[in-house]
Structure 1
Amino acid sequence: MNTLAVTTEHQASIVLVEDDASLAEWIVNYLRGHNYRVHHIARGDQVAAYVQQHAPDLVILDVMLPYKSGFDVCRELRMFYPQPILMLTACGEEADEILGLELGANDYLSKPVRPRVLLARLKALLRREPQEPSTQGILRFGQLKILRDAKTVFYRDEVVAITAHEFDVLWLLASNAGKVIRREELVTQLRGIEYDGFDRSIDIRISRLRKKLHDNPEQPVRIKTVWAKGYLFSPEAWE
């Protein structure tokens, strides 16, 4: 059984995402003693569906989780969830803390968790006014979703693993969906140099994007090659 639920009259409802059973039990009992309602989830891949259905007031999210990392969960939640996210990070892992904040977490807490500090952080976060998720910097085409700030691509609700350079190409093409973008323009905007007629770096990135986005490289329909002109991102081909 991966979840345990505690229901009481509460100040706020909290989802705790933590795969360490003993730590999770301790946090649940501690927060229950302070009149919170807590639901525990031990797997990263189960979080988004539960949060979408139950709309808790706050999520406590561990970084290291089975099936889906806390970073991926945070990124996924921030597509629809405006309430606070508190990330739990390994002690001294500054890179984890920075990445969590960049992905949309409101605060972080290093392990081992100190009870009074945890409670103070929760109270501070719950006093904040929730922010509506921003639609700026998000492009949607059928089942394709592109998040500019997080440099993240979702297709059919799955994260597509692409590099930063590949993302930049995709964002530029998708921002001009239905319009042919010349290779010269892509090279100038993305590499900051003039096209010399020999540079094939953009072609290589587009070839890799097609493979990762399940576009037929022999007859692409999603990122099309327009002979002697450039490339065209098709907005209707993402079902």
Structure 2
Amino acid sequence: MAHILLVDDDVELAGMLRDYLDGDGFTATAVHDGEAGVAEALSGRYAIVVLDVMMPKLSGVEVLRRIRAASQVPVLMLTAKGDDMDRIVGLELGADDYVPKPCLPRELAARLRAILRRTQAAESASAPLCVGPLAVYPEQRRVEWQGSSVDLTSTEFNLLEVLARNAGRPVSKGALCEQALGRPLARFDRSIDVHLSSIRHKLGLLADGRSCIQTVFRQGYQLIRE
């Protein structure tokens, strides 16, 4: 039974989501300010964090920044409906996914299960994936570039693993969204592009100066072999 941390200053909404998740196979704990959210998220007691962006004093974005400075625990952001900037900033800082508010508790539970399934599936795989200077260790959820460790978020790791398993051939954005984020690709959804931009930034360049992740026109993204 996965333990979920809810961080939202809306006490009524957080209570409703907690009660729904408790009745749907999870154990949920709610806190209502950013400082408490950071402390709880870094306690090691939770499988995943649900974090509201709009909070007073310490915003959800700053909470996420502090969590990512010390932990790779999966984080799902609750964002205002239609606020693309909050979503993009959250993804760039390392959020694994987002759900617009107001959200259906059933959709939130489905997103949480999708993230947890991906995490558990990756942990069950054992064979390392080596492509040029890149080494992906699914069992340990660890990545190395030229022998040095690379710090990736849970979703970034999932995306890179999918590309590594398909090295040398393009993978569509739709397939990446389904396999790495656990949901269909929505129209105008830039999540995949933002995550891959972050991965490119964290990985080094190949000997010829190119990124190992290439955009293939009208086909998607490809992890190239040297």
TM-score bracket for the superposition, by shorter chain length:
0.5 to 0.7
SS at match of 1:128: helix
Q: Tell me whether 1:34 sits opposite 2:24 in the alignment.
A: yes
CA distance in 2, matches of 1:66, 1:133: 36
Give the alignment's TM-score, normalised by structure 1. Answer: 0.50
Structure 1 residue ranges without an equivalent (≥5): 1-10, 138-239
1:23 is aligned, of 13, 31, 34, to: 13
Q: What letter corresponds to residue 36 of structure 1 in structure 2?
A: F
Q: How does 1:74-93 map to 2 (within 5 A)?
A: 74-93=64-83
SS at match of 2:42: helix
Q: How does 1:1-239 map to 2 (within 5 A)?
A: 11-129=1-119, 131=141, 136=150
Q: What letter corresponds to residue 98 of structure 1 in structure 2?
A: I
Q: CA deviation at 1:133?
A: 9.6
Q: CA deviation at 1:132?
A: 5.6
Q: 1:132 to 1:71 in 2, by over 3 A?
A: farther
SS at match of 2:43: helix
Q: CA deviation at 1:83?
A: 2.1
Q: What letter corresponds to residue 44 of structure 1 in structure 2?
A: G
SS at match of 2:71: coil
Moved more, 93-102 or 50-59: 50-59
Aligned residue-pair number: 127
Q: What letter corresponds to residue 73 of structure 1 in structure 2?
A: V
Q: Is the contact made by 1:12 and 1:37 (CA closer than 8 Å) also made in structure 2? A: yes
CA distance in 2, matches of 1:133, 1:67: 35
Q: CA deviation at 1:105?
A: 0.2
The one of the two structures with greater contact order (alpha-carbon pairs below 8 A, sep at least 6) is 2
The Cα offsets for residues 101-148 of structure 1, whole Å up to 9 and x where unpaired, read as 0000000000111122111101001112275699658xxxxxxxxxxx
SS at match of 2:9: coil
Kindly report the root-mean-square deviation, in angstroms, between the aligned alpha carbons of the 2 structures: 2.0
Q: Is the contact made by 1:12 and 1:57 (CA closer than 8 Å) also made in structure 2? A: yes
Q: Once superposed, which parts of structure 1, at least 4 consecutive aligned residues long, lie more than 4 Å away?
A: 130-137
Q: Percent identity?
A: 42
Structure 2 residue ranges without an equivalent (≥5): 124-140, 152-226
Give the alignment's TM-score, normalised by structure 2. Answer: 0.52
SS at match of 1:60: strand
CA distance in 2, matches of 1:120, 1:21: 22
Q: Is the contact made by 1:17 and 1:42 (CA closer than 8 Å) also made in structure 2? A: yes
SS at match of 2:4: strand
SS at match of 1:53: coil
User: Which one has the largest radius of gyration?
Assistant: 1
Q: CA deviation at 1:89?
A: 0.3
CA distance in 2, matches of 1:85, 1:94: 17
CA distance in 2, matches of 1:88, 1:52: 19
The Cα offsets for residues 143-184 of structure 1, whole Å up to 9 and x where unpaired, read as xxxxxxxxxxxxxxxxxxxxxxxxxxxxxxxxxxxxxxxxxx
Q: Is the contact made by 1:97 and 1:108 (CA closer than 8 Å) also made in structure 2? A: yes
SS at match of 1:34: coil
